[in-house]
Structure 1
C-alpha cells in the first residue's frame, strides 16, 4: 500500500518498529472479536508485525509526529468490488478523533485506489463507540444479527454468541459528501 498522510496521522504498511505499539493494544483486547489476536509478549508482537508487514490488507495507523503505532485498519475483499472493513485502536488514544481521521482516509483509499463499490463493517451491539463512528462516517445500519457469532465462552464452556450490527456504505453515497 502507498503511504497516506492526514493532518495528524500516517497510514502505511506495518514495519518491524511497530511491535511495541501492537503489543500495547493486543495484550488486552476490549472487543471480543479481537480475542484471537491476543498476545502477551514482544516476541509474539514481532511475529504478528512480520505477517502484517507482508499483507496490504492490514494498515498501520501511526502518529505523524512520533511515528508511534496507535491502531490498525484492515479489509477483506469479496469479489468483485465489496470490502469488509474493520479497525482496532489503542484505548490510550481514544476520544481524540484519530479513528475518524484515519478511517476517512482509508475509505477514500478503498473507494478511489482499490475501486471498491461497497464497504461494510460488523459491530457488536455493545460496542457503542464503533457504532457512533460508523454513523459519523456516513455508514448506514443495514442489519442486526441475533446470536451472530461466538468469540468467547461462558464460565461453563458453552459459546457466548454476540448480537451484531452491520453497517454499510456505497461509493455513490460516499461521493455525495466527498466529491473527488
Structure 2
C-alpha cells in the first residue's frame, strides 16, 4: 500500500473500513456545502469507502493513530497536469493539517508522479479553500463566472457558481519550497 508520512500525518489509500471516519465528515452539511454532492448517509459512506479504496485518485489523510480526518484527491489530467482537491473533517479545521498534507501530496506529485503542473479549483465564496491554495504557493490563474453548477433550485434550474482556478508548476514549487 502506498503511503506518505509527515510529522503528524499518514496519507494513504482508503480502505473499506474507513467508512465511519468518512461518514463523520461527509455527513456534515457545512463540510460538503461547496462540494458537488450532498451529505452522505451511513450506507452511502460504506459504499463510498469501497469505491475510494479502488480509486487511486483518493488519499485518506490520517492522524498517526490511523484516524481519517479528511481526504485528498489527486487525479491525472492531460499534459502531465494533475488536479488537486480536498475535504476535511470540521473538527480538524484550523490545525494546519490541510496545509501539511497538501504540501506532502504536491511534493509526491512532482517527485514521484513527475507532474509538470498541479491545478486546483474552488468556489470564490469558500475563502478557507482559496487561502489554503495560496498557503501552498499556488497562483490564482482565473476567476470563471457562472461556469459550473452542481445543484438545482426548486424549479429544477441550475444554480450557477463561479470558480477560482489555481496552479503551480514544477519549477515554481521547487523555487518556492
**Which TM-score bucket, shorter chain as reference?**
over 0.9
Using the alignment, how far apart are the partners of 1:162 and 1:70 within structure 2?
27
Range with bigger deviation, 165-174 or 155-164: 155-164
1:65-84 Cα deviation digits (max 9, x unpaired): x2111100012211330011
SS at match of 1:125: coil
1:51 CA displacement: 1.1
SS at match of 2:167: strand
Using the alignment, how far apart are the partners of 1:154 and 1:55 within structure 2?
31
Residue 33 of structure 1 contacts residue 151 of structure 1 at CA under 8 Å; is this kept in 2?
no
Residue 4 of structure 2 contacts residue 11 of structure 2 at CA under 8 Å; is this kept in 1?
yes
1:29-88 Cα deviation digits (max 9, x unpaired): 4344524263111x3212111111112110000011x21111000122113300111001
SS at match of 2:7: coil
Q: Does 1:73 align with 2:72?
A: yes
State the TM-score, normalizing by the size of structure 2. 0.93
Residue 20 of structure 2 contacts residue 45 of structure 2 at CA under 8 Å; is this kept in 1?
yes
Residue 25 of structure 2 contacts residue 90 of structure 2 at CA under 8 Å; is this kept in 1?
yes
Unmatched segments (≥5 aa) in structure 1: none
SS at match of 1:36: coil
In the TM superposition, structure 1's runs of 4+ consecutive aligned residues that sit over 6 Å from their partners are none
1:75-118 Cα deviation digits (max 9, x unpaired): 22113300111001111110100000000000001111001000
Unmatched segments (≥5 aa) in structure 2: none
Residue 147 of structure 1 contacts residue 162 of structure 1 at CA under 8 Å; is this kept in 2?
yes
Aligned residue pairs, count: 176
